[in-house]
Amino acid sequence: MRWDIFCKVIDNHGDVGVCWRLACGLAAAGDAGRLWIDDASALAWMAPQGHPGVRVVAWTAAGAAQEAAAAPPPDVLIEAFGCDPAPELVARFAQAAPPGAARRVWLNLEYLSAEPYVERLHGLPSPVFKGPGAGLTKHFFYPGFTPSTGGLLREADLQARRERFVRAAWLARQNIPWNGERLVCLFCYEPPALDALLAHFEHSGEPTRLLVTAGRASRALPPGPAQRGALSITWLPYLTQADFDHLLWACDLNFVRGEDSLVRALWAGAPFVWQIYVQDDDAHHSKLDAMLDWLEAPPELRRLHHLWNGMAAGELPELSPAALAPSQAAVAAARDRLLQQDGLLGRLRQFVAQKS
């Protein structure tokens, strides 16, 4: 089966991350795919080796017509996060399939949310009334946390790899110094409570090493020495997707941002704090609270999320291992619930089979 995935970059870690993982998952299942993307620069460090079966297409107006004509139209067309696919590709996609061939399927892969509307809208049709795809029907495909949604991206061997992971060996390969202190991942935008977090770790009675990811997290960190009281700081280079997963597996507490890293933090199983992408009219507040409700987050974890996202004011709660134990239990229980469900890739392929 041939798949075309269209992606326009807003937050290149999340948008590209989701689409690349999806394309690789489809290829690993034996399908072929093209990832059309308007800015593929992040793949240079996220996936420098590429992946067999996945072709990355520079999505430009000049090259769209030529690329659309270079191969048969796809069996499945995915527009990620509501972007409009290249009209030239849609025109070819709209052409009648050969006799006996399966009906082509057009999907709108939506943003991840735990809000109730996701279950109501998942799978609904959306007729196309104008443009080169007039007469076709798209279907909404919503990732989600419950069996009535599209599920979450998860590789078939993820848990086996997680169980084989050796933290000390990975840290040594990355040249990250570690003497048994608590490890905390910082992958964020510019959180309002960042200074308070640094001060908390600096004056804590427990040694903490903060592993700061490249990009906006590094730029958000106020200037200062690498050693600040009980806090040690290590600045990381850009990591491949595999090593970003390893980073989350290695840490005792993960501060993450966006959609892709939220899912990976869930699979890591350690306590995490999610910085959500800001939306107009504070719509992201409801989205964050819906995720915390699904997570069954204890009060301390909920308050920490609100402080980190600028939804509350005051002092940070205690972050010692003992204080985080209820959060650890909530994340572990949530991961167990998710592992009992099918992943997004399986549900996606089943949905396509039903519509073909």
Catalytic residue among 4, 15, 31, 260: 15
Q: What is the pLDDT of residue 12?
A: 65
Compare 140 and 10 and report the one with higher pLDDT: 140
Counts of helices then strands in the chain (DSSP H, E): 15, 13
In the annotation, is 259 catalytic? yes
Q: What is the pLDDT of residue 318?
A: 95
Buried b (16+ CB within 10 A) or exposed e, 149-165: bbbbbbbeeeeeebeee
Same-fold call for 2-151+342-355 versus 158-339: yes
* Strands lying side by side in the sheet with 105-109: 54-58, 32-37, 2-7, 76-80, 105-109, 137-141, 125-127
> What architecture (CATH level 2) is domain 158-339?
3-Layer(aba) Sandwich (3.40)
CB of 216 closer than 8 Å to CB of 188: yes
Q: What is the pLDDT of residues 291-346, one digit of tens each?
A: 999 999 999 999 999 999 999 999 999 999 999 999 999 999 999 999 999 999 99
The percentage of residues in the chain with a pLDDT greater than 70, rounded to a whole number, is: 98
Q: What is the pLDDT of residue 100?
A: 64
Backbone angle region of 257, left / alpha / beta, with phi > 0 → left and psi within -120 to 50 → alpha? beta
- Total-model pTM: 0.95
Cα–Cα distance for residue pair 196/202, rounded to 1 Å: 10
Catalytic residue among 31, 243, 259, 260: 259
The domains of the chain are located at 2-151+342-355, 158-339
In the annotation, is 318 catalytic? no
Q: What is the pLDDT of residue 277?
A: 87
CB of 301 closer than 8 Å to CB of 332: no
What is the topology classification, in CATH, of domain 2-151+342-355?
Rossmann fold (3.40.50)
Dihedral (C-alpha) 132, 135, 136, 139: value to the nearest 10 degrees?
120
Q: What is the pLDDT of residues 133-162, one digit of tens each?
A: 999 999 999 999 999 999 999 999 999 999
Compare 98 and 310 and report the one with higher pLDDT: 310
Residue 97 pLDDT > 80: no
Q: What is the pLDDT of residues 181-207, one digit of tens each?
A: 999 999 999 999 999 999 999 999 899
Compare 7 and 67 and report the one with higher pLDDT: 7
Q: What is the pLDDT of residue 65?
A: 79
Pairing relationship of beta strands 182-186 and 137-141 according to DSSP bridges: unpaired
